[in-house]
Structure 1
Amino acid sequence: MAIKPVRYDGTTFRIAYDIFNPEGERDLVFLHGWGSDKALMRQAFSKAFPSWRHIYIDLPGFGKSENDRVLTTSDYAGIVDAFLKAIGAKKDAAVGHSFGGKVATLLAPDRLVLLSSAGIVLPKPWDVRFKIALFKLLKPFGGARVRRLFVSQDAAGMPQNMYETFKNVVDEDFSARFAAYRRPALLLWGKEDTATPPKTGETIASLMPDARLHLMEGDHYFFLKHPDETIAKMEAFLETV
Structure 2
Amino acid sequence: MASRRITYLGQSLEIAYIKHKPNAASTSNIVFLHGWGSHKELMLQAFGGSFADYTHYYIDLPGFGASSYGELESTFDTSAVRGQMDSSLSRKAESPKVQKVDSSMPDTQAVRILDTNDYAHIVLAFLRALRVRADIIVGHSFGGKVAVLCAAIEKVDSRNEAMDCHATATQCLAMTEKNAVSEKVDSRGNAENVEKTQNEKVEVVFDKTPQNTGAKNVFNKQATSGRIFDEKVGLCSGEQGDKTWVSIDAASHKLPAFSQKANAKTNNEDSSIGDIILLSSAGIIYPKPLKVRVKIACAKIAKALHLRLPFLRANDAKTLNPTMYEIFKRVVDEDFSPIFAACRHNVSIFWGRDDKATPLESGQQIHALIPSSRLFALEGDHYFFINQTARIESMYHTKAWHIRVFGKVQGVGYRKFAKAKADELGLQGSAQNLLDGSVEIFACGDESVAARFLQALWVGPSRAQVQEVQSQPCALKQEWLDRSAFEILT
Residue 120 of structure 1 aligns with which residue? 284
Q: Secondary structure at the match of 2:314?
A: coil
CA contact (8 A) 2:46 2:387 kept: no
CA contact (8 A) 1:182 1:208 kept: yes
Letter paired with 1:154? D
TM-align CA RMSD: 1.6
Q: Give the one of 304, 327, 331 matched to 1:165.
A: 327
Q: Secondary structure at the match of 2:315?
A: coil
CA contact (8 A) 1:17 1:56 kept: yes
Deviation at 1:28? 0.7
Q: Give the one of 39, 49, 52 matched to 1:50.
A: 52
Residue 121 of structure 2 aligns with which residue? 78
Deviation per CA, 1:36-65, whole angstroms, max 9, x where unpaired? 000011011111112111111000011101
Q: C-alpha distance in 2, partners of 1:191/1:33?
A: 18
Deviation at 1:24? 2.2
Q: C-alpha distance in 1, partners of 2:135/2:389?
A: 22
Q: Secondary structure at the match of 1:129?
A: helix
CA contact (8 A) 1:217 1:226 kept: no
Deviation at 1:118? 0.3
CA contact (8 A) 2:124 2:150 kept: yes
Q: Structure 1 residues 93 and 56 mapped into 2: Cα distance closer, same or farther (>3 Å)?
A: same
Q: Which has the higher contact order (CA 8 A, sep 6+)?
A: 1
Asked if 1:185 corresponds to 2:347, the answer is: yes
**TM-score w.r.t. structure 1 length?**
0.94
Q: C-alpha distance in 2, partners of 1:156/1:23?
A: 44
Deviation at 1:25? 1.1
Residue 259 of structure 2 aligns with which residue? none
Residue 311 of structure 2 aligns with which residue? 149
Q: Secondary structure at the match of 2:13?
A: strand
Q: Give the one of 125, 142, 162 matched to 1:99.
A: 142
Asked if 1:224 corresponds to 2:386, the answer is: yes
Residue 211 of structure 1 aligns with which residue? 373
Q: C-alpha distance in 2, partners of 1:139/1:98?
A: 29
Q: Percent identity?
A: 47
Q: Secondary structure at the match of 1:92?
A: strand
Residue 5 of structure 1 aligns with which residue? 5
* Deviation larger for 215-224 or 46-55: 46-55
Give 5+ residue unaligned stretches, structure 1: none
Deviation at 1:114? 0.2
**TM-score w.r.t. structure 2 length?**
0.47
CA contact (8 A) 1:49 1:235 kept: no
Deviation at 1:75? 0.6
Q: C-alpha distance in 2, partners of 1:64/1:131?
A: 31
Q: C-alpha distance in 1, partners of 2:69/2:10?
A: 13
How many pairs were matched up?
238
Larger Rg: 2
CA contact (8 A) 1:26 1:51 kept: yes
